[in-house]
Chain A
């Protein structure tokens, strides 16, 4: 998909004015957070499992070449094919060629963030092949020609009425004349429409949550069963996966799966967790005749060995965005690209460049909730801070911000001057605001006070002054 991350500030303005989006976000905040918390409380080993999940991914990254080669060897031995794609363009070309070899007219697609990242649907459509999204949420937004707003709940920004309108508009020509109003009817109609699509599809394309080196299996979780239909009914199954998805063994998959669903939706285990290993075997009554795995790099190998490597542990559960106050206020679309929320603010500048996505890591209060729930303990605030530093180093930060930061740095390095200046500011601010306890307007802080009040300093002077007055330790 085309990025609008550079227009982040405009996107945010639109998101804050979108009433439907705001309503959806308010329910999302409660739902995902409470369900995750419930699942964590039912699993006493959860924190230990997070440590183990982090260690497994770190081990896999440190031996990435080895496990990818082992994975490949296993797939080839079973008669499957492995394709190496250094760039998004390579991956698009490979998938298109495979679809052409299969004489494909329609493709059944199970939601894949990698397919979004490489803009696969647009590419196939431009070459006369119709990709049909089969995850219900992804299908809805495909009909509406919108990008996903959440990595595991792509249509979370829409209301039931919007879905009803969309189905009415698109399904009427398929013989479904009535506009439905009940949720179960909407789901049933989509099931019927998509069942036909599955049966017509020449190729099934899925992503992978993990690739297991031990067995050559690609592994996928869903709740609907759409990925299972995509990899069972069509004659060709293509898996598109990025290189950091490979893990050593089935036991490692179990450890990661124990934190994945709990972090994502608060489920104990996803409804469908499927291991696919090669094409149809001799005597198998169903399954694809050809099986392909496309391994995508797209800039990931550049991150190995750098201070940003931790981002490659991500297992795409979405917990960081579900717990993020910024995501909770603006939703996923405002981030402007495939990966929203805290992980998007870390991944997108890497994959798109800092010039395009440099605004995203600035959209954080550094409250740390993302890191506190991340199942593989990615230090997301630290990584966002790295991007901010690089943005500053490369002079991409606006001049006013640079000047203000320069002034602050000048003062911070001179403690006596700093205390004097903050003391004066404190007294001045107190003088004008203490009576009410807050300001509803402040010079140079309009961006803050337009939306909320700024608290006035309380009696007792600056933090430093109060620390000293209470006999706090000094160096």
Chain B
């Protein structure tokens, strides 16, 4: 008997039944197919404009910084942020075509490379699949347009998040994921990130930048 059969057999003996069948099986199948929503906290079920405020409050509460800008002002806001934080005017950016529109080429003083990060890269610029108002959380999905390591390796992560990417609760992200990738399907990595990396492993005192970014700056772009 294979280890697999041995384990499934032991589980079924414990549950005092054979393989799941009949109505019980149909109910479990239905749960997977229809993925019913559990309890969605009321906190995020508010007017659109308030959801964006709630996202901003949540992100700031976990030490991200947030600025709201018009589409035409994104590149300038990046340059200002880098200067204000004494960072070089250079960044590695996700090869995401959705980021092309922000007029980087008109800013020759900002040196941008598209692709994977290397050790010398101090700043990453990426988009985000979504932002969740409930807790100020960003959702990144892996793919040719968005290497996961961009979210993790450089010390500073600048995230360009369109207002229409902000949803109330996580469940709304799942709806968008299923629409994009298909039912029951996910990209290799879905990273939900809430503020910069942190640890409290030394005397329970918070320190930022344990392994991932020390700084996270979110530009919310008005539609």
B-binding residues in A (CB < 8 A)? 24, 27-28, 31, 43-45, 48-49, 52, 56, 59, 62-70, 74, 83-86, 90, 134-137, 140, 153-156, 158-160, 163, 183-184, 186-188, 190-191, 194-195, 213-217, 223-226, 228-229, 231-233, 243, 248-252, 254-255, 257-258, 265, 267-281, 283-287, 295, 297, 301-306
A191 near B184 (CB under 8 angstroms)? no
Given contact pairs A84-B4, A215-B185, A285-B147, A255 touches B38 in the complex (Cβ within 8 A): yes
Chain A residues with Cβ below 8 Å from B148 are 228, 232, 286-287
A251 near B174 (CB under 8 angstroms)? yes
**Distance of A283 Cα from B145 Cα, bound (Å):** 9
A-binding residues in B (CB < 8 A)? 2-4, 6-8, 10-16, 19-20, 24-25, 28, 31-32, 35-39, 41-43, 58, 61-62, 95, 115-116, 134-137, 142-144, 147-149, 151-152, 169-171, 174, 177, 184-205, 207, 209-213
Given contact pairs A191-B209, A305-B15, A285 touches B144 in the complex (Cβ within 8 A): yes
Chain A residues with Cβ below 8 Å from B10 are 86, 297, 301-302
Given contact pairs A188-B209, A285-B147, A229 touches B42 in the complex (Cβ within 8 A): no
B14 near A135 (CB under 8 angstroms)? no
Give 19 A-B contacts (CB < 8 Å), ordered by A residue. A28-B204, A45-B42, A67-B28, A86-B7, A153-B201, A155-B201, A160-B202, A195-B211, A216-B186, A232-B152, A248-B31, A249-B36, A268-B134, A273-B191, A286-B142, A286-B148, A287-B142, A297-B7, A305-B15
A304 near B41 (CB under 8 angstroms)? no
Chain A residues with Cβ below 8 Å from B187 are 277, 281
A191 near B210 (CB under 8 angstroms)? yes
Given contact pairs A153-B200, A160-B202, A285 touches B3 in the complex (Cβ within 8 A): no
Write the chain A residue with the least CB distance to B170: A254
A63 near B203 (CB under 8 angstroms)? no
CB distance from B208 to the nearest CB of A (A): 8
A27 near B204 (CB under 8 angstroms)? yes
**Distance of A275 Cα from B188 Cα, bound (Å):** 8
B189 near A254 (CB under 8 angstroms)? no
In the complex, which of the residues A70, A140, A255 contacts B32, with contact meaning CB atoms closer than 8 Å? A70
Given contact pairs A43-B41, A191-B209, A271-B197, A250 touches B174 in the complex (Cβ within 8 A): yes
CB distance from B45 to the nearest CB of A (A): 11
Interface contacts (Cβ under 8 Å), in number, total 263
A271 near B2 (CB under 8 angstroms)? no
**Distance of A252 Cα from B204 Cα, bound (Å):** 30
A275 near B137 (CB under 8 angstroms)? no
CB distance from A230 to the nearest CB of B (A): 9
Write the chain B residue with the least CB distance to A159: B203
Chain A residues with Cβ below 8 Å from B169 are 254
**Distance of A280 Cα from B144 Cα, bound (Å):** 10
**Distance of A305 Cα from B136 Cα, bound (Å):** 41
Write the chain A residue with the least CB distance to B213: A225
Chain A residues with Cβ below 8 Å from B14 are 301-306
Chain A residues with Cβ below 8 Å from B41 are 43-45, 49, 258
Chain B residues with Cβ below 8 Å from A303 are 14
Chain B residues with Cβ below 8 Å from A70 are 32
In the complex, which of the residues B3, B194, B204 contacts A271, with contact meaning CB atoms closer than 8 Å? B194
A249 near B199 (CB under 8 angstroms)? no
A249 near B20 (CB under 8 angstroms)? no
B211 near A248 (CB under 8 angstroms)? no
CB distance from B205 to the nearest CB of A (A): 6
**Distance of A444 Cα from B184 Cα, bound (Å):** 64
With A232-B148, A272-B191 already in contact, 15 other A-B pairs whose C-beta atoms are closer than 8 Å: A64-B15, A65-B12, A66-B20, A74-B184, A187-B202, A225-B152, A228-B191, A248-B32, A251-B36, A251-B171, A269-B135, A279-B188, A280-B188, A286-B116, A302-B10
**Distance of A251 Cα from B175 Cα, bound (Å):** 10
Chain A residues with Cβ below 8 Å from B25 are 66
In the complex, which of the residues B3, B38, B147, B207 contacts A187, with contact meaning CB atoms closer than 8 Å? B207
CB distance from B195 to the nearest CB of A (A): 6
A225 near B197 (CB under 8 angstroms)? yes
Chain A residues with Cβ below 8 Å from B19 are 65
B192 near A269 (CB under 8 angstroms)? yes
B7 near A295 (CB under 8 angstroms)? yes
B8 near A68 (CB under 8 angstroms)? yes
Give me the 6 closest cross-chain CB pairs, A-B, nearest first.
Answer: A304-B14, A225-B212, A137-B201, A224-B210, A301-B10, A255-B38
**Distance of A49 Cα from B211 Cα, bound (Å):** 31
Write the chain B residue with the least CB distance to A42: B43
**Distance of A466 Cα from B209 Cα, bound (Å):** 62
